[in-house]
Chain A
Amino acid sequence: MIEAFRFYKELGKYSKPGFTTVLDALKGYLNGETAMIFYSTYIMDDIAVEEVQKGRINKFNPELVKNTGFANKMINTRPTSYGQVVALGITKNANKEEVEKFVKFLMADKNYVYWVHMAPGGMNPTRKSIAESDAFLDNPVLKRYGKAKIAEIVGALDSVERFEFIKGKVITDMSKLSANFVIGKAINYMFANDWTPQQTAMWAQKEAEKVLGK
């Protein structure tokens, strides 16, 4: 944890001044005020589509889609990416047969492509055959990136890791810490108070114990 805070603090030196929110980060990147951001895949249309970008910053840079690269993995001890798999859950009391039919319908080739195209590039297919299919790439937003870049983003799914989910097990305590933004707050305070990574980790530890009631 201390190492992660140290890394983040070093990174902060090159960051846009102030406490940036999601929207600040997005606009900062589109405006060319910052060269790199951490962002979700939902940025795809902001970068590529003129109307969307104009809606954000009132101008459009057509080169941005070509000049943007995606680091789909972070590497320290091993390559890993942050991500989230959205699943369709079937509750205990549900009409299992009918629901299964519905899930199969949604996941079927054409329908699945239609579904993920609701947010092109934001939602990406978890089925390999779909990800590689021409039908999936046949979309005005995705086309602008080209097959190779899209494949790179979808490929990150192979190395998705979460603190809350390790080796097939859900770590409930970690879910509680994430839901209460303990780590995010710690980083926020680290910059606000100019804490050392050690001080930050100590605060996070205390806060975590409070949240978990230990």
Chain B
Amino acid sequence: MAVMSLREKDARFGWKLVLPTVIIIALLILYPVFYNIYLSFFEVSISDAPNKFVGLQNYKEILTDSSFWKSFGITLLFTFTTVIGSILLGLGVALLMNREFPGRGIVRALLLLPYVTPLIAIVFAWKYIFLPIDGPLMKFLAYFGMDPGNDFVNNPNNAFWVVSIFNIWRNFPFVYLMLLSRLQSINSDYYEAAEIDGASNWQKFVHITLPELYFVIASVALLRGIWNFYKFDEVYLMSKFANTLPIYIYEKAFTGVPEQGVAAAIATILFVIMISLIGIYVKKVLKW
């Protein structure tokens, strides 16, 4: 019998420990991913007839479809707007909450509410506040001479801004939480030294705070970017007209005349785009 070195033994033991996780990930993530790629080459039948192999036909159809590209543009804009928006708002709030003031603990906790409240409850609350005629906000604005019959949330032309603003408001606490924890760990010596050198508040922010926060902001932007690029629930519950890609896929796959092969191909294209964008981002911005 061959004698195993300690190193080999350790390696084997390590594999045994991670094996359950590997199996679960393979079943729940890898299998659906590969099955999705496989489906994208078929015209998927919704009756008991077998799927028909169509090669790259689905891909050709999508890449020449103007509504796909329009939807793609909207999604990029949505991701960009919401990531920048929630980071700016989160950063602002984090800087404020880093100062001492009475009642800070309560305010810090309350600020988390948009992020921790169940989504469906918030969506109904927003819709109620903006309800034409009866909504509290509309009633209030009517005192200032605005027509309370306006319907901001459900107007299909407002869809993009409604879902973007809603998303920023919902997710800024996440950004704020991450940034605040980093802010608290910045050594106050830096600021003292800068003050002795006569630096203004703005200079301290640009030359100390921002560089210290750089990697946190970059990581948060990556996470929010990935999440918002694929965001379905927050968008679809607020407006059926926002038309971002996840909704485009959903409509292709499950509404009208279902084209699940086409939907699978779109998902595959997005997967490739996302993987390459993340790769570039991690190398260039996070400098891994």
Contacts and interface: CB of A to CB of B under 8 A. Distances in A.
B257 A17 contact: no
Contacts of B157: 192-193
A192 B132 contact: no
B67 A19 contact: no
B256 A17 contact: no
Nearest to B148: A17
Interface in B252-272: 255-257
Interface residues of B, number: 16
16 contacts: A16-B132, A17-B148, A17-B150, A17-B151, A18-B131, A18-B150, A18-B151, A19-B151, A19-B154, A175-B257, A179-B256, A180-B257, A185-B156, A189-B156, A210-B67, A211-B256
Interface string B142-174: 000000111100111100000000000000000
Given A17-B149, A18-B149, A192-B156, A179 B257 contact: yes
B66 to A, nearest CB: 8
B271 to A, nearest CB: 26
A198 interface: no
A185 B151 CA distance: 16
B257 A19 contact: no
A188 interface: yes
B182 to A, nearest CB: 43
B159 to A, nearest CB: 10
In this complex, the member of A180, A185, A192 whose beta carbon has the largest number of chain B beta carbons within 10 angstroms is: A192
A176 interface: yes
A56 to B, nearest CB: 15
A19 B256 contact: no
Contacts of B67: 210
Contacts of B48: 93
B133 interface: yes
Contacts of B151: 17-19
Contacts of A179: 255-257
Interface of A: 16-19, 21, 93, 175-176, 179-180, 185, 188-189, 192-193, 210-211
A18 B257 contact: no
A185 B256 CA distance: 13
A197 B155 CA distance: 19
A175 B155 CA distance: 26
A18 B154 contact: yes
A210 B155 CA distance: 23
Contacts of A188: 156
A18 B132 contact: yes
A176 B256 CA distance: 6
B256 A180 contact: yes
B197 to A, nearest CB: 57
Contacts of A175: 257
A97 B151 CA distance: 56
A89 to B, nearest CB: 11
A17 B131 CA distance: 10
A197 B131 CA distance: 27
The 3 closest A-B pairs by CB, nearest first: A17-B149, A18-B151, A18-B132
A17 B148 CA distance: 9
A16 B67 CA distance: 33
Given A17-B149, A18-B131, A19-B154, 19 more contacts: A17-B132, A17-B133, A17-B150, A17-B151, A18-B149, A18-B151, A18-B154, A19-B156, A21-B154, A175-B257, A176-B257, A179-B257, A180-B255, A180-B257, A185-B156, A188-B156, A193-B157, A210-B67, A211-B256
